[in-house]
Amino acid sequence: MKKTFYIFLLLWSISPIIAQQKISLDEGWKFHFGHSANPDKDFDYGNKLLFHKSNIYETTILSPKFIDTTWSTVNVPHDWVVELPFVKSTTHEMDSHGYKPVGGTYPETSIGWYRKHFSVAKKDEGKRFEIQFDGIYRNASIWLNGFYVGTNFSGYVGNSYDVTDYINFEGDNVLVIRVDATQFEGWFYEGAGIYRHVWLTIRNSTHIPTDGIFAHATIDGKKAKLTIETEVENKNLTGSTAFVYSYITDRNGKLLAKTAEQKVELAVNGKTTLKQQLNLSNITLWSLENPYLYKVYSVVKQNNRIVDQQKVNFGFRTVAFDAKKGFFLNGKNFKIQGTNNHQDHAGIGSALPDFMQYYRIKLLKEMGSNAYRASHNAPTKELLEACDSLGMLVVDEHRLLNSSPEYVDQLKRLIKRDRNHPSVILWSIGNEEQNIQGNEYGKRIALSLMAIQKELDPTRTSTYAADMANEYKGVNEVIPIRGFNYREYAVADYHRDHPNQPLLGTEMGSTVTTRGIYEKDEIRAYVPDQDITHPWWASKAETWWKLAAENDYWLGGFVWTGFDYRGEPTPYKWPNISSHFGILDVCGFPKNIYYYYKSWWSNAPILHISPHWNWEEKIGQPIEVWVNSNAEEVELFLNGKSLGKKSMPRNSHLKWNVVYQPGTLEAIAFKNGEKITSKVETTGVATKVLAVANKTTVLADGKDGVIVNVSIVDEKGREVPNANNMVFFELEVDGQIIGVGNGDPSSHEPDKCRNGAWQRSAFNGKCQVILQAGKTTNDLVLTVKSNGLAKAKVVINQKK
Ligand code: GAL
């Protein structure tokens, strides 16, 4: 057996591989605003005939000869909305999107034109060329060298286009994209532009098409039967014969098993799917604690040469949803402890470099969260890769409950793209479609979408996020997993009436909190940073989590939301430009409620006191002190004097009324016999800036990056909880600052300081700066200053 593998490896290494080349087209785009209401300002779009002939060449913006040198140069991911100013308005469209001037009312900032020049090698003539867009917001019309290529309507699901016939092998190739963000798809900040990666794939005429591999397995203890479905396509004018095989390696690349070669005859323009199987023993399961990823390859050979080879990462795991006992991963029962999230982050809007996906998923995982719902749209691939490799479960959501060809196609693209990810445990076919979820339309559409899901991925099932309390009629009658958006009080009755339908809290909780704020402030639009305030349709964290934790029939649930996101200011409007629903703010700084969830979602010993202890103006007055902990008993001390010992109710918190005196408020607790302590202290005045980077080394690839969190501290290094000092950032050498933020949901300061010094005020002691690596191995040196305070310096090594 072993010998065969070595022979295979030997042959594999000497046989020439002419597989696909996937080239990044992220860098060096030219960008200019168009105009949605005036063709003269929209590069004659609407004045000139652009669709009357096959190739629109000489005189339009689509021509490679068009001069775009005065346009700005941007790299993708790019979100133009994050750079626009905030504009006060009274419309729902504007407040839900974070008061940014985009949409039909703002014609001058709602159309973006992008142009990208690239060249290809003459030696590649005869190959197939495909352009792949991972995500453009939205309604993107695409031309190459004056030829119309296609329109991607979706702002979230990407698409690929075969552009072979339009390639110029002699000189410049120019991709032109008109992005039209005059219509919204959601009711939250969506950004606009080419905000995900762009790729050029060069491949042989006989090849595995994009997303053409589907690997799935049945598992029996340590044994597995792996099925690999490989699509093979022939783009020749003549039929073609190929041989296809698949193999699997462990994560280090060690070959474990290989199928026989299977002959396939492909007709002219033919496409076929081959199913091959491998039996494996002694598999390592993919789990949250050990997210072990194998590599599965499919190989296409012609005339004894490898003409294509594609890889997908794969994890062996079983998933079960039981209506009475709850959720099981690999036979192990635990609660789904999830968060809902939109895709934007402080400073950068929706244009997240890949390293940000890992940063955000890690923060959620550290809190004890084990699941992520991509609400309400297809996430980017890199987010799923982060979830696969860090161990986070995902509910992958389709944008609309609609079965028209457009939305069916979007669902198909989503499932084909994502069905190999072990992290994806469930599809969601939609969210809160109030006009149809309770009637026959909703039911019929749900059935159509579920049939597509089953066709493309029989290994998983679907849910739908319904704000329907215990109503059954409509989508709920047919959906395999009933999703509850809020109305946690109705879950028990629903379970009584429909005991065989598993129940998931698709949106739960939804306490609104502003980090570091302890009084409601209607002027600045802040809400207290405790588990107190929630909209009428929602609940406090403790209300839903107690129910979910204590009743086996709950699979668990997803908090609305993990992170704050732009748009949807609630309960206030302007000046509030971002939501407060997050357990973490928009920078990822924890709010107090973080410690509630971490207490009951993780095994780490937690003891957290709030509020801070800087209340000069409240000496002698009572202050409500909250303690979040998972210890059995907690005793609180003010300046060494005991204020009493209390036992901690499960899934809850403790409170003391403390007459304020400056000094130290300390808690001492015992968890499993181990002592834990925690304190808050009255700090001195701010004297220094402290800056902490999330890593010390980055790859010098122009894409990797670092998140630097800044605190304003006193002489003893204690964060000053109400410090709002302006902070200035200077970066030396070739990396760049790509965004700044502070988590203040009412801040109107710019996130990008393109035309001047980079700066951001701290909000309640903290702010954040995000750096992107350069391409040399010089150190990145960031200086962080604030007037009158000692400065901080951060040095990051760049390595090749
Ligand atoms: C839900 C909705 C979410 C968000 C949330 C705010 O009804 O599904 O997208 O709008 O309300 O509370």
Ligand 1 atom having least distance to the Cα of 431 = 8
Tokens of 475: 């989508």
507 lines ligand 1 (CB under 6 A): yes
Residue 508 CA to ligand 1 centre (angstroms): 10
Give the integer Cα–Cα distance in Å for 524 and 760. Answer: 18
pLDDT in the model for residue 783: 98
Residue 790 CA to ligand 1 centre (angstroms): 43
Give the integer Cα–Cα distance in Å for 439 and 474. Answer: 4
Instruction: Note the helical H segments in 535-666.
Output: 541-550, 592-601
Is 382 among the domain residues? Answer: yes
CATH number at residue 488: 3.20.20.80
431 lines ligand 1 (CB under 6 A): yes
Please state at what angle helix 592-601 crosses helix 541-550, rounded to 10 degrees.
10
Q: What is the pLDDT of residues 422-454, one digit of tens each?
A: 999 999 999 999 999 999 999 999 999 999 999
Residue 53 pLDDT level (bands cut at 50, 70, 90):
confident
Instruction: Please tell me whether the peptide bond between 138 and the residue prior to it is cis, using omega within 30 degrees of 0.
Output: yes
pLDDT in the model for residue 754: 80
Max mean pLDDT among 49-63, 632-646, 743-757 falls in 632-646
Lowest mean pLDDT among 50-59, 158-167, 558-567, 590-599: 50-59
Residue 486 CA to ligand 1 centre (angstroms): 9
511 lines ligand 1 (CB under 6 A): no
Residue 350 CA to ligand 1 centre (angstroms): 19
pLDDT in the model for residue 733: 81
Average pLDDT of the residues in 318-333: 98
Nearest CA to ligand 1 atom 5: 560
Domain's final residue, options 626, 647, 681: 681
Residue 17 pLDDT level (bands cut at 50, 70, 90):
low
432 lines ligand 1 (CB under 6 A): yes
Give the integer Cα–Cα distance in Å for 552 and 322. Answer: 9
Total domains in the chain come to 5
Same domain? For 543 and 671 the reply is no
Domain's final residue, options 575, 604, 625: 575
Residue 7 pLDDT level (bands cut at 50, 70, 90):
very low
Q: What is the pLDDT of residues 275-311, one digit of tens each?
A: 999 999 999 999 999 999 999 999 999 999 999 999 9
HEC string of 451-478? HHHHHHCCCCCEEEEECCCCCCCCHHHH
Residue 581 CA to ligand 1 centre (angstroms): 10
Is 13 among the domain residues? Answer: no
Alpha-carbon distances, residue 164 vs 127, 207, 258, 584 (angstroms): 8, 14, 33, 46
Same domain? For 170 and 35 the reply is yes
Average pLDDT of the residues in 369-389: 98
Average pLDDT taken over every residue of the chain: 96
Same domain? For 670 and 699 the reply is no
% residues pLDDT > 90 (the chain): 95
Is 230 among the domain residues? Answer: yes
Name 6's Cβ contacts closer than 8 Å, sequence gap at least 6: none
In this predicted structure, the answer to whether residue 606 has a pLDDT above a threshold of 80 is yes
Domain's final residue, options 575, 596, 624: 575
Asked if residues 759 and 731 have their Cβ atoms less than 8 Å apart, the reply is no
Same domain? For 726 and 635 the reply is no
Q: What is the pLDDT of residues 138-154, one digit of tens each?
A: 999 999 999 999 999 99
CATH number at residue 148: 2.60.120.260
Is 599 among the domain residues? Answer: no
Nearest CA to ligand 1 atom 2: 432
Ligand 1 atom having least distance to the Cα of 510 = 12
Same domain? For 549 and 567 the reply is yes
pLDDT in the model for residue 231: 98
Which residue is associated with the tokens 């409240």? 618
Range of the domain at 185: 21-203
Residue 187 CA to ligand 1 centre (angstroms): 9
pLDDT in the model for residue 19: 80
Q: Phi and psi dihedrals of 410, rounded to 5?
A: -60, -45
CATH number at residue 229: 2.60.40.10
Ligand 1 atom having least distance to the Cα of 467 = 7
Same domain? For 706 and 653 the reply is no
Q: What is the pLDDT of residues 19-31, one digit of tens each?
A: 889 999 999 999 9
Residue 18 pLDDT level (bands cut at 50, 70, 90):
low
Q: What is the pLDDT of residues 455-482, one digit of tens each?
A: 999 999 999 999 999 999 999 999 999 9
Q: What is the pLDDT of residues 174-233, one digit of tens each?
A: 999 999 999 999 999 999 999 999 999 999 999 999 999 999 999 999 999 999 999 999
Is 589 among the domain residues? Answer: no
The Cβ of residue 104 has, within 10 Å, a number of other Cβ atoms equal to 13
Same domain? For 337 and 411 the reply is yes
Q: What is the pLDDT of residues 684-705, one digit of tens each?
A: 999 999 999 999 999 999 999 9
446: left (phi over 0), alpha (psi -120 to 50) or beta: alpha
Q: Phi and psi dihedrals of 394, rounded to 5?
A: -135, 135
Residue 14 pLDDT level (bands cut at 50, 70, 90):
very low
pLDDT in the model for residue 416: 98
560 lines ligand 1 (CB under 6 A): yes
Residue 477 CA to ligand 1 centre (angstroms): 22
Q: What is the pLDDT of residues 582-592, one digit of tens each?
A: 999 999 999 99
User: Looking at the whole model, is its pTM more than 0.75?
Assistant: yes
Listing DSSP states for 696-748 in one string gives SEEESSSS-EEEEEEEEE-TTS-B-TT---EEEEEEESS-EEEEEE---TT--
751 lines ligand 1 (CB under 6 A): no
Is 62 among the domain residues? Answer: yes
Same domain? For 510 and 412 the reply is yes
Name 355's Cβ contacts closer than 8 Å, sequence gap at least 6: 703, 704, 705, 706
Same domain? For 667 and 726 the reply is no
Instruction: Read off the amino acid at residue 318.
Output: T
Same domain? For 444 and 567 the reply is yes
Ligand 1 atom having least distance to the Cα of 376 = 9
Same domain? For 305 and 397 the reply is no
535 lines ligand 1 (CB under 6 A): yes
Same domain? For 657 and 692 the reply is no
292 lines ligand 1 (CB under 6 A): no
205 lines ligand 1 (CB under 6 A): no
Which residue is associated with the tokens 């029989």? 458
Is 11 among the domain residues? Answer: no
Asked if residues 374 and 383 have their Cβ atoms less than 8 Å apart, the reply is yes
Is 652 among the domain residues? Answer: yes
Residue 186 CA to ligand 1 centre (angstroms): 10
